[in-house]
Amino acid sequence: MINQLVSKIKKTNAPIVVGLDPVLKYIPAHVTEKAYKECGETLEGAAEAIWQFNKEIIDNIYDLIPAVKPQIAMYEQFGVEGIKAFKKTVDYCKEKGLIVIGDIKRGDIGSTSEAYAVGHLGKVQVGSQSFYGFDEDFATVNPYLGSDGVKPFMAVCKRESKGIFILVKTSNPSSGEFQDRLIDGRPLYEIVGEKVAEWGEEHMGNSYSYVGAVVGATYPEMGKVLRKVMPKAYILVPGYGAQGGKGTDLVHFFNEDGLGAIVNSSRGIIAAYQEEKYAEFGAENFGSASRAAVEEMREDIAAALAGKK
């Protein structure tokens, strides 16, 4: 799957992943109203609104990008109905040829991590049959529990040719509270990054590993260091756009081959129609606004990478 991701990034010339994190306030009134009319102001209605919103955006951008990253929390908040909308979204994105990175940030002790890995990336056995649960292509994983918590994901990735991105340095303001603390003179995120490189050696694709890393765009200097610590890890970079990361900040996350990073934008794309810049599209055409925002993001990153050369 990492080889497919690299090849799709080259083909689209867009190291971009769109975060499908549908908050109700991002969804235009005509979409929510229609959903509530059909299903009521209920959890089912919210899930339907989310699904219709996602579908319209996907239909408008699927040919421009290699991958999407649905954030499961935004679905899970609506309980079982939300989880159904998550699954529907994953399936539809795959139908449209997109690679799906499940932003699930799971991680637990061995046997429990195995259950998460099986449910999100692999097949679960039921009697003589086996079934995919959610069937994403990649998943994000929290490393706090150490190798025990990561290895079961790797085992499933090997069986299924799928991949993971491990949280190394997250994009949020307080990520430094633990991640930046010095251990033998080096920050924890570097220690975790080294582990990611080590784990990654065990499951290599053609030029990059099936084990990638999450490093926030909001910390470009740390990205620079981590790029060297984990040369073969694809870096999933959240924090671009709404969270404050700029195109010029991103160059450090890429390797000399122009590859090695994929930048996420969520709100900046899916709620583009709410920005002044794209207001001309109007709420009715929110999908087209999202398309324009993807195109601009692609140019912004290309310009920054051209400046690097």
Active site residues: 105
- Kindly identify the residues of this chain, within the stretch 211-270, that bind a copy of itself according to CB under 8 A: 238
- Kindly identify the residues of this chain, within the stretch 86-115, that bind a copy of itself according to CB under 8 A: 87, 105-113, 115
Output the smallest distance, CB 212 to a copy of itself, in A.
Answer: 17
Please pick, from the candidates 10, 30, 63, 146, the single residue that binds a copy of itself as defined by CB under 8 A.
146
Nearer to a copy of itself, 52 or 171 (CB): 171
Nearer to a copy of itself, 176 or 258 (CB): 176
Nearer to a copy of itself, 87 or 203 (CB): 87
Stretch that binds a copy of itself, among 62-70, 142-150, 205-213, 282-290 (CB under 8 A): 142-150
Using the rule CB under 8 A, is 37 a contact of a copy of itself? no
Using the rule CB under 8 A, is 21 a contact of a copy of itself? yes
Taking each helix axis from N to C end, the angle separating 220-229 and 188-201, rounded to the nearest 10 degrees, works out to 40
Extended beta strands in the chain, E state: 16-18, 67-68, 99-106, 123-126, 129-132, 138-141, 163-169, 182-183, 186-187, 211-215, 235-237, 261-265
Rg over alpha carbons for the chain, rounded to the nearest Å, is 19
Nearer to a copy of itself, 32 or 288 (CB): 32
| Amino acid making up residue 234 | Y
Using the rule CB under 8 A, is 203 a contact of a copy of itself? no
Residue 143 Cα distances to 71, 84, 116, 226, angstroms:
18, 27, 14, 16
Q: Are 230 and 196 in contact (CB under 8 A)?
A: yes
Q: Give 252's Cβ-side CA count (13 Å radius).
A: 18
Nearer to a copy of itself, 131 or 231 (CB): 131
Q: With contacts defined by CB under 8 A, how many residues of the chain interact with a copy of itself?
A: 74
Using the rule CB under 8 A, is 65 a contact of a copy of itself? no
CA proximity to 81, closest of 31, 120, 34, 45? 45
Angle, CA 73 vertex, CA 143 and CA 216 arms, to 5°: 50
- Kindly identify the residues of this chain, within the stretch 69-88, that bind a copy of itself according to CB under 8 A: 71, 73-74, 76-80, 82-84, 87
Please pick, from the candidates 170, 264, 265, 290, the single residue that binds a copy of itself as defined by CB under 8 A.
170
